[in-house]
Structure 1
Amino acid sequence: MATRLQPAIIRKFIPPRKRDSRKGDNGKVLVVGGSHMYHGAPILASLAALRSGTDLVYTCVPKIITSSVRAISPNLIVIPMVDAKLTRGAANKLLGQTPSDLDSATIGMGLSIPDEEALKLLVKSLASQDVRISLDASAIVSYILPHLPQKNIVLTPHAGEFKRMSGIMPPSSIKERTSVVEKFAKEHSVTILLKGSTDVISNGNQTYVNPKNLASMTVGGTGDVLSGIVAGLLARNRNPLESAAAASYINGMAGKMAQKKNGLHIVATDLIDNIPAAMKPFDRITK
């Protein structure tokens, strides 16, 4: 039986911030994405991770777009990827440039991956460092499934990406959709956040649903924002299911706030602007 997400549940999933915490204590996130065409996707994910409360975000994008990405915001720490696509050489170089104490990473938004061994190398290397990982977009592929560390991975597909990964198109019925997600998550020991008008989040043993029903959130980039929130929360709450569920809820609330202001004419950055307000009810400071 799936549980509908409510504020009381989300409050348990978002850790409080310690009053005496220092830079880095509230999360260090790696974002790997982007290409010549899709330079905005990793920017959206990175800014969303920062707005979710992460202290440090390292944005790794192809060298050809680093200047453009850096120009968007002084808040981004940009790492140039040596190749225009994720090759084994680029993955090895990236692993040598990133901090050894990362908390989480999100991979795939706007990223071109011509070599499946490169993605395997990146995921397995980060996982061996106990980094929690979220995979999105081009990183949601069937060949990566046997190489995922059990129970420490979040996959955030929309229906088409889920079909590409599993061979199954999620049914339109929420009950049937939930059943398909639960079965796949259990079989592969991962957490699935299936995006849609109602998000379905499951690790195969426990399932949440988050009805959003926001016609405006079909605009491009809202999934990239979600990936950034997932990574940001994974950096603080190391539990993949709880982090994915909380991210779905926060992303949806930010979308509702944006739609209330702009009607059916929102853009993805409107969601980022509303993340602080969406998270404010859950902000707590402890000693």
Structure 2
Amino acid sequence: MLEPSVLSSSTVENFIAPRKSTSRKGENGIVLVVGGSYIYHGAPILSSLAALRSGTDLVYTCVPKINVTSTRSVSPNLIVIPLVDQKLTLGAVKKLIGALPRNLHSATIGMGLAIQDKNSLLYLVKSLLDRDVRLSLDASALIPEVLPILANKNVVVTPHAGEFKRLFGNIPPDSNLERIELVEQTALKHGITILLKGPTDIISDGNVTYLCKKNTPAMTVGGTGDVLSGLVAGLLSTNRNCLESAASASFICSLAGKDVQEKLGLHMTSMDLIDSIPFVMKPFDKII
């Protein structure tokens, strides 16, 4: 087993890309978020707002057409693309691919997403990877059928323990040492970066492993995983290194969680978490 490193501010500050003082809109990240369903309309909104708060310039939020009005009403900052069907279908994906900007940097897929046809997800993932778009996959996008097309690509998967079992077939053990070893072996086997969520997040590409110890029970509220997915995609949009981006996202989400818990106790919502992101990220801001 590798010797994991506990994440700290001094480590993460090296992972956050600086911004040129002369940069223009779009040069600091363009992100696609694909998620949502009739019931889970809020998940892609949380991911999108978190990506924006990470410092990304533009976020395209793709949701089923039944969710478009509610999504647009939440924030004028979101560029909303309707998915023509209520669920992810092959036809809807093909239309979506044709509507996307060519200069996407990263995408996060799966938050609250209803998938009618697994092949539609595979087509979407492969199409984005073929365009050199870095990916973060979560929730319903975490199915074993997708693994063969992810190997040695710029991909982060962000499962909790149950999703880890569904994706890889193994239940993460309770022992932290065994849990770390399983994540490392699985990441190396499949050629991806894994961010296993839990009281301590484990982030590994099979060669290097980071731990993020959170101790924030207020973060059990719904939607915090969607915020994390948006942070991963946002940071991936300016840093191609999946391990560094995933580790940074985990650490920043943890800092925001601690900040909100100190202010609000056990009464956090995921929107509170998003509001805290700029304040905990500000010390990492660099302009060159």
**Global fold match (TM > 0.5):** yes
- 1:237 and 1:172 mapped to 2: Cα distance? 32
Question: Offset of 1:237 from its aligned partner?
Answer: 0.5
- The gaps in structure 2 that reach 5 residues or longer are none
The whole-number CA distance in structure 2 between the counterparts of 1:151 and 1:218 is 31
Q: Is the 8 A contact 1:45 1:228 kept in 2?
A: yes
1:85 aligned residue (84, 87, 102):
87
- For residues 276 and 86 of structure 1, the distance between their equivalents in structure 2, rounded to whole angstroms, comes to 33
Aligned match for 1:16, one of 15, 18, 22: 18
Q: 1:149: Cα distance to partner?
A: 4.6
1:152 is aligned to 154
1:195 partnered with 2:209: no
Structure 1: 5+ residue stretches without partners: none
Give the Cα–Cα distance (whole angstroms) in 2 for the partners of residues 148 and 238 of structure 1.
Answer: 15
Aligned residues: 286
Aligned to 2:41: 39
2:125 to 123, 127, 134: 123
Q: Decide whether the 8 Å contact of 1:158 with 1:194 is kept in 2.
A: yes
Distance in 2, Cα, partners of 1:261 & 1:267: 12
Task: Choose from 171, 174, 180 the match for 1:172.
Answer: 174
Q: Identify the residue that residue 27 of structure 1 maps to in structure 2.
A: 29
Find the aligned partners of 1:13 and 1:120 in 2 and give their Cα distance. Answer: 30
Q: Report the equivalent of 2:96.
A: 94
Matched position secondary structure for 1:162: helix
- Whole-angstrom distance in 2 between the partners of 1:57 and 1:145: 26
For 2:73, the equivalent position in structure 1 comes to 71
| Percent of matched pairs sharing the same residue | 63
User: Is 1:238 paired with 2:240?
Assistant: yes
C-alpha separation in 2, matches of 1:206 and 1:245: 11
| Runs of 4+ with deviation above 4 angstroms | none
Give, in angstroms, the shift of residue 88 of structure 1.
0.2
- Which residue of 2 is the match for residue 269 of structure 1? 271
2:221 to 215, 219, 225: 219
Q: Deviations over 1:22-71 (max 9, x none)?
A: 00000000000000000000000000000000000000000011000000
TM-score computed with the length of structure 2 as normaliser: 0.98
Using structure 1 for the length normalisation, give the TM-score: 0.99
The 8 Å contact of residues 86 and 113 in structure 1, kept in 2 or not, is answered as: yes
Alpha-carbon RMSD across the aligned residues, in angstroms, is: 0.6
Q: 1:149 & 1:105 partners in 2: Cα distance?
A: 17
Residues 148-180 of structure 1: CA deviation (Å, up to 9, x unaligned):
151410000001100111111111111111000
